[in-house]
A and B are shown apart, each in its own frame.
Chain A
């Protein structure tokens, strides 16, 4: 049980960070189609930084930088210049996949160096609760930061002017402009923050989760992040629930394998996508995207 929750958290965290980022970007009116490539960029930069410096925190910061760097292309092309978000997004996605794979090979050849385990911290008192204590409350600090981010997202979107402007930039950019606030600036910041968070998700995966970087290691989690953000409709709590349902369902299958129930690896790989597709079928009408999503804002065109 403890292993199940631990495994669930391990698989859920990258998705959690990525979908928080994607939510910010989507609310501001930019669809982060390249999320998967951005995660890989974060995973690679974070991994390399950790490997050479030996500092996990430096690695995680580097992964934020790596993600934001690739997201800067999206910010420049889609927001500043108003190009097609899907074409640019898929370009970033493919570029990110290719560049990380090539760099990995150029740097390490066919060897895959490994990192040690990141130190966990125990929350006093809470960590002595039976099952939950050893799983939920004994985790690397970054996990708690992830939970904290959910709260921050909720607070920012609901109760601050920044959140209001952000949502307005996605729903009715003209109104933001009329209020004297730059739509482009809001969206650029949103895209960069989203890229940083997605990069952090990738970094978590490589540094904390696997301790290793393998090309294409995100295995579609970036795409699932897009769906989670769509279905969560900007509600932070649903991002948390969605990510953990995903994490638990994946780790459930590994638990099955551990107790000896034969589950083919391909079935395990397939489950998250079947789950997402089922969610899409059931909640088809519930998914909601901001009105101005994917529409570049051009002042002169008003």
Chain B
């Protein structure tokens, strides 16, 4: 089975490079990477369309609705850009973690805890100090909350090598419920029947770009994403983290303090999730209702992998997903389906991504190394 392709190439007497021709060079590579990132999306949309057909819905109308509502409609386009802000921040957090081979799956809990604190403290702070100062302080609180809520999985992993997928997931469930407790308890507003926090007046939210509803969170997100790109790629710290990610044992032999790096990267990752939650509350909602959970975490997992853990490549993919989620909401409503239809697409994207990688591995074996390196983390105990 495996290796048949090489045999064929051998028979043809050509080396793989000469077959590919235009695939060489920087532009060619970028083109190939793009195709590899887009192909799973396209395949997932096709299969998703078949599911729609099976349910008696017209897939062309459905996807048309998504594009129209998410992209070619002024208000929808603004919503899409607004949605990108928290998604990009969370993507930055995931990239830091995954490049260090830390599977931080608990993003939703970190996101919601920070969001709850921002929504709970927001009205109080606004009343006590200037708006800009309270916005800054709330963002800092959210960032720290997100970071601190990863401390248990981080220390468990660093000290005992406990698998962080499980521990961060457990923390996520705890965080989601704890955020609800906060909203139904100490932060509950007395003015509403539905449990929710007090409301930050619209005028006091993160300032919008003049003439639009798009708040400045998108710039914060883009800048921080660029910082992540730079730090991971160009600095000594980034090199250390990536070394730890690729080969923990080699990192140890190189004299790195693995435990400290793991805890640090884990907390930075959580901090990004927390900031994302804060920005979403302070930029869009101004309050938080109990049981609100946008579930951004797992879909982002797919996006970040599709981007090959590259912060720059994540931007267009996150944009694409934002269109899908904003447009998908109204398309699903029109087709009388739940928003969860997007989950089918995301799940299929992950499966087709694995398939694309598999096909590629059989052909070249280049970026497969990435997943292989991540897999090496699966040794349950890291510091043996």
Instruction: Using CB atoms and an 8 Å cutoff, list the residues of chain A in contact with chain B.
Output: 31, 33, 37, 73, 77, 81-88, 90-99, 101-103, 105-106, 109, 215, 220, 223, 226-227, 230, 264, 266-267, 269-270, 273-274, 276-277, 280-281, 284-285, 287-289, 293-295, 298, 300
Complex contact B344–A277 (CB within 8 A) = no
Contacting pair B298 A90 (CB below 8 A): yes
Is there contact, CB below 8 Å, between B375 and A102?
no
- State whether A94 and B347 are in contact (beta carbons under 8 Å apart), knowing that A84-B354, A298-B2 are contacts in the complex: yes
Q: B340 contacts A97, CB within 8 Å?
A: yes
CA gap between A88 and B2 in the complex, in Å: 20
Q: Nearest-CB distance from A112 to chain B (Å)?
A: 13
B102 within 8 A of A: no
The interface residues of chain A lying within 8 Å CB-to-CB of B174 are 270, 273-274, 277
List A contacts of B301 (CB < 8 A): 90
What CA separation (Å) do A91 and B338 show in the bound complex? 19
B152, B165, B346, B351: the one within 8 Å of A77 (CB) = B351
Residue on B nearest A81 in the bound complex, by CB: B358
**Please, how many residues of chain B have a CB less than 8 angstroms from a CB on the other chain?**
55
Contacts of A295 on B, CB cut-off 8 Å? Answer: 375, 378
Secondary structure at the A interface, as helix, strand, loop or mixed, is helix
CA distance A77 to B347 in the complex (A): 14
- Is there an interface contact between B371 and A98, defined as CB atoms closer than 8 Å? no
Cβ–Cβ < 8 Å partners of A227 in chain B: 166, 170
Q: A83 — nearest CB in chain B belongs to which residue?
A: B354
Interchain CB contact under 8 A, A267 and B55: no
B202 in the interface (beta carbon within 8 A): no
Find out whether the CB atom of B346 lies under 8 angstroms from the CB atom of A266.
Answer: no
Q: Is the CB of B347 within 8 A of A95?
A: yes
Q: Assuming the A-B contacts A215-B338, A295-B375, are A86 and B165 also in contact, with contact meaning beta carbons closer than 8 angstroms in the complex?
A: yes
CA distance A230 to B346 in the complex (A): 28
Contacts A270-B177, A277-B170, A287-B380 given; indicate if A87 touches B355 (C-beta within 8 A): no
Task: Report the Cα distance A103→B174, complex, angstroms.
Answer: 29
| Chain B residues, Cβ within 8 Å of A281 | 152, 156
CB within 8 Å of A: which residues of B?
Answer: 2-3, 51, 55-56, 103, 152, 156, 160, 162-163, 165-167, 169-171, 173-174, 177-178, 180-181, 184-185, 298-299, 301-302, 305, 336-338, 340-351, 353-355, 357-358, 371, 374-375, 378, 380
| CB of B367 to closest CB in A, whole Å | 12
Task: Tell me whether A97 and B166 are in contact (CB under 8 A).
Answer: no
Complex CA gap A96/B350 in Å reads 13
- Complex: how many Å from CA A223 to CA B174? 13
User: In the complex, what distance in Å separates the CA atom of A154 from the CA atom of B66?
Assistant: 52
Taking the closest CB of chain B, its distance from the CB of A91, in whole angstroms, is 3
Contacts A98-B343, A280-B170, A287-B380 hold; do A87 and B371 have CB atoms under 8 A apart?
yes
- 24 A-B residue contacts at CB 8 Å? A37-B347, A83-B358, A84-B354, A91-B302, A91-B347, A94-B302, A97-B343, A101-B338, A101-B343, A105-B337, A215-B340, A230-B166, A264-B181, A266-B184, A267-B177, A270-B178, A273-B170, A273-B173, A277-B167, A280-B166, A281-B152, A284-B162, A294-B375, A298-B2
A105 CA / B339 CA spacing, docked (Å) = 10
Contacts of A33 in B (CB 8 A): 165
Q: Taking the nearest CB of chain B, how far is it from the CB of A110, in angstroms? A: 10
Chain A residues, CB < 8 A from B3: 300
Distance of A76 from chain B, by nearest CB (Å) = 10
The CA of A212 and the CA of B96, in the complex, are separated in Å by 42
Name B339's closest neighbour in chain A (CB-CB).
A101
* A88 touching B346 in the complex, CB below 8 Å, given contacts A102-B338, A277-B152, A277-B174: no
Selected contact of B170 from candidates A91, A223, A269, CB within 8 Å:
A223
Q: Pick the contact of B358 from A82, A99, A267, A269 — CB < 8 Å?
A: A82
Which residues of the partner chain A approach B348 to less than 8 Å between Cβ atoms? 91, 95
